[in-house]
Structure 1
Amino acid sequence: MKPLIVLIVSFAISCLAFYAAQHDPHIILSGRIAMALMLLFTSVAHFAFFKGMLMTVPPFIPFKNFMVYFTGVLEVAAAVGLMFTATHYITGLMLILFFIALIPSNIYTAQNHINLEKADYTGKGLSYLWFRIPLQLFFIGWVVYFAVLN
């Protein structure tokens, strides 16, 4: 839920700021800025909640410590890539693959009731998936619209 809030609020603020400054909300750029800010926000979890993030990595994934740090760094790189005209398209394509690749982790997290912030098993469980899977699809759609098609 927090990433969605960051995405929507930063989109609104970006549109308002552009409109106030230039009388044009620059919707496409605002959409990329919002996704970049959301990615920076989520990347912090990889470092601030490392133990909990580690718990979300399914058993079939090797090098778990590396993967948590690596995906955090990837999110920062993607945030930067979305900001440049020369790279936003390829970054968008890579983000789509990244969001799809996260689905097994989301399923594993839900099945095991993992609370990544507390690094324990008090998470919401399978009800989490009713929100998280559509959210992943929403993020993919956002990236398609704001980074791949435009």
Structure 2
Amino acid sequence: MKPFIVLIAVFFISILSIRLLTQKHDLLLSARIGMCAMLFFTAIGHFAFTKGMTMMIPSGIPLKTEIVYLTGVLEILLGIGLIIPGFKVYSAWVLILFFIVLLPANINAAVKHIDYQKGTFDGNGLAYLWFRVPLQIVFIFWTYLSSLKNW
């Protein structure tokens, strides 16, 4: 829920800021700035809650800690890429693929009741997926729509 709040709050702040600075509306740029901020916010979790994040990765996948750090860096780079006009479309497509690839880790975490912030097995469980899966779909569509030339 926190990432969604960051996304929406920064989106609206960006709309107002861009309007004040340029006297124009740029919803697409505001949407990309919101997604960039959300990605920065979630990337922090990769470094602050590494143990819990590694627990989310399905068993059998090696180098879990390295994957957590790499995906944190990737979120930062893709967020920046969304803001740079020449990279926004490429970054958006990689980010959409990234969101799809992350879904099994979120499902695994829910099935195992993982609380990634505490690194324990007393998380929300399967009920979390009723929120997380639709949210992941929102993130995918948000990223796609914000990378279009005209909306």
Q: Give your verdict on TM over 0.5.
A: yes
Shift of 1:19: 1.3
Shift of 1:80: 1.1
Q: SS of the residue aligned with 1:114?
A: coil
Q: SS of the residue aligned with 2:18?
A: helix
Match of 2:97 in 1: 97
Q: Is residue 48 from structure 1 mapped to residue 41 from structure 2 by the alignment?
A: no
CA RMSD of aligned residues (A): 0.8
Match of 1:74 in 2: 74
Match of 1:142 in 2: 142
Q: Within 2, Cα distance between the matches of 1:24 and 1:50?
A: 41
8 Å CA contact 1:14–1:25 kept in 2: the answer is: no
Count of paired positions = 149
Q: Within 2, Cα distance between the matches of 1:106 and 1:142?
A: 19
Q: Within 2, Cα distance between the matches of 1:82 and 1:58?
A: 29
Q: SS of the residue aligned with 1:82?
A: helix
Q: Which 4+ residue blocks in structure 1 deviate beyond 2 angstroms?
A: none
Q: Within 2, Cα distance between the matches of 1:38 and 1:61?
A: 26
Q: Alignment identity in percent?
A: 47
Q: Which runs of 5+ in 2 are unaligned?
A: none
Q: Which runs of 5+ in 1 are unaligned?
A: none
Q: Within 2, Cα distance between the matches of 1:85 and 1:65?
A: 32
8 Å CA contact 1:39–1:76 kept in 2: the answer is: yes
- Normalization by structure 1: what TM-score? 0.97
Q: Within 2, Cα distance between the matches of 1:18 and 1:77?
A: 23
Match of 1:133 in 2: 133
Q: Within 1, Cα distance between the matches of 2:2 and 2:73?
A: 19
- Normalization by structure 2: what TM-score? 0.96
